[in-house]
Amino acid sequence: MRPARRGRRLGLVLTLVLALGGCAGVALRPGSTVPLVPEVDLQRYAGDWFVVAHIPTERDADSHNAVENYSLLPDGRIATTYRNRLGGFGGRHKLMTPTARVVPGTGNALWAMRFQIPGTPLVWPVDYEYRIAHLAPDYSLAIIARSQRDYLWIFQRSAEFSEADLERYRRLIAGWGYDASRLQRVPQQWPNPADGSLPPRGPHPSFGLSP
């Protein structure tokens, strides 16, 4: 990209960032039909998760072997590393490294997530809701939902997820007001049949943390 064009693009991004500055903020919505677990032990919640099912955004609708890691940062924020393959087990690698902060007074169950603007060192000044709506007592499974009932993710410590499991959680989220027919499995197969790779572990090195 030519310097002048790059400068114009960066200028447009900065203008958009400033315009969106007033949109930041995730608030507790007591009237939501989507539950919020009463308490989350962040130390137990941290670590690696397999994304086994989701109602996806447009950006990850064809995910394969999706894995997420949460690591606690010294300043209290939560480093998030999302890795997957798009379009198949041998598809394009995708990496996202947003950071989250806990919304006070929510028992660590409601987070505000911020993402980096692609192609820049800037971060969107918009908080995206991350709502821990269901958590197994042994921290083996979690469901991340949103008050708007648009997107949803099911995480497990194990990559195994049966059709019976899928149907069970469809019934659960239907009770929250979701269109449960949109819930779909995220294909997980390890070692990866395309290249023999094993699940990636730990945070991305950009956070300066050890796995």
User: 């397999």: which residue's tokens?
Assistant: 50
Closest CA to 88 of 68, 64, 59: 64
Global pTM? 0.86
User: Looking at this protein, which amino acid is placed at residue 195?
Assistant: D
Contact 89, 187 (CB under 8 A): yes
Cβ atoms within 10 Å, residue 68:
19
Element (H, E) at 20: helix 3-20
User: Looking at this protein, which amino acid is placed at residue 201?
Assistant: R
18 or 71, which is more confident?
A: 71
Contact 186, 52 (CB under 8 A): yes
Q: What is the pLDDT of residues 57-111, one digit of tens each?
A: 988 899 999 999 999 999 999 999 999 999 999 999 999 999 999 999 999 999 9
